Structure 1
Amino acid sequence: MTMTKSGSRPTRPIRELVQCFRNLSVQLCVPPGGEADELLQHLRRMGCPASNSWPPPTDTPMGIDVVFISIRHLIEEQTPFHWNVEDPPSALIAIADYENPLMVEKILALRAQSTIAMPLRTFGVLMDVLLSVANFKRDEERRKQVMRLEEKLRFSDKIELAKVALAQEHGVSHDEAYAMLRQSAMENGVTITAVVQSIIASQD
């Protein structure tokens, strides 16, 4: 690690950033020719595995880290672009040729991590890609955290059902019922989840 000019925060050496970029697999979804070819060649010159596909594939191929999508062609040609905004498969970078409400609305609807403007300026593409991947990974971790919390809440409700069932069956308090759940799990060498599911299944 190196230090910033202020000496207060460590930053990643530029070699690590470049190596990270070269390990990324990029899929362009842009009509071939002109600036699309220029962008593709620029990515490859920097050592990034990149390919182009138009129209966009129905499903993003496995192992793709970043997708570039031409917003203008999606709008003008009404080209289908199957993108799961709730659980995207990779980072998404929107390519915008001009500014208008339709284009802004489309980019927001797709929840792109970044936008690059045309005509293409190759300077900054490296940073756009790295920042998009970083933002995507951060958002992905947040989604996973939310899913874990939701699952925890769902299982908490199941524990309460199992505790009520045991309390009624054995005439004990809810705290004692929970102690029984833990004891049963230890004696049988299984998780509390398995014990709770077994009790709920027997009640059903």
Structure 2
Amino acid sequence: MVSVKDLRSLRVLLVQPKNSEGAALRSHLMRIGCHVEEIWPPPSTFENIDIVFAMFDQIIEHKLTFEWQADDPPAVLIGVIDYENPLAIDRLLRIRANAVIGLPIRPFGILTNLLVTVNNFRREKRLCANLHRMQAKLETCRTIERAKLAMMLTNSRSEQEAYGMLRQLAMKRRTTVEVVSGEILNALDWCDEDMPTSP
């Protein structure tokens, strides 16, 4: 969990033009301990950054492109808006901003937004990583089960015997049961729709 004492390790990018509001945001973030950089116009990629503050009213007003991978965001995104412009709100929703702060900049709330959004963002990343691992494991089990069924039906083997044969082949070839299972299914050219129901 990221706490107040961890703020100095956070790399913050401010996507904003040079103006008084931008200077106020930069000054406050530096006071609370963040390492802050500024850029304008918005970059095409975001690398080695933990948090992005972006002034969306300015981005829209200047008709600029804001490239953001909403499905796999590279960092926490906090939108900064001057007023509740429907265009800015729609844009923030579509790119799935993690939080929004309003202008003029007020010190109260920024620290809370930082800590809450960073912790939520990292927790979501961990959950997604766990989900991908579980999906990969499920697919591995599915491949092995299909290969067992194929061997049971083509060689009149029991489930235990079929799995034993898969293990022996894997050990003999110094590979995994999953790899052997995939090769067997490819050799038999069995697609999902061709697979019979297990007895």
Matches within 5 A, 1:143-158: 143-158=128-143
Which of 61, 74, 83 is residue 89 of structure 1 equivalent to? 74
CA separation in 2, counterparts of 1:164 and 1:102? 55
TM-score of the aligned structures, taking structure 2 as reference length: 0.83
Give the gaps of 5 or more residues in structure 1. Answer: 1-11
Asked if structure 1 preserves the Cα contact closer than 8 Å seen for 2:4 and 2:115, the reply is no
Which of 23, 30, 38 is residue 9 of structure 2 equivalent to? 23
Which of 94, 107, 119 is residue 122 of structure 1 equivalent to? 107
SS of structure 2 residue aligned to 1:52? strand
SS of structure 2 residue aligned to 1:60? coil
Q: Residue 177 of structure 1: CA displacement?
A: 1.8
SS of structure 2 residue aligned to 1:165? helix
Q: Which range moved further: 20-29 or 102-111?
A: 102-111
CA separation in 1, counterparts of 2:160 and 2:53? 55
Cα RMSD (Å): 2.2
User: Which residue number in structure 2 is paired with residue 177 of structure 1?
Assistant: 162
TM-score of the aligned structures, taking structure 1 as reference length: 0.81
CA separation in 2, counterparts of 1:157 and 1:75? 48
CA separation in 2, counterparts of 1:174 and 1:126? 59
CA separation in 2, counterparts of 1:34 and 1:42? 12
Q: Which range moved further: 18-27 or 150-159?
A: 150-159
Identity %: 38
* 1:14-47 superposed Cα distances (whole Å, 9 cap, x missing partner): xx82221111101111112211112112212222
**Number of aligned positions between the proteins:** 189
Give the gaps of 5 or more residues in structure 2. Answer: 190-199
Which of 42, 56, 67 is residue 56 of structure 1 equivalent to? 42
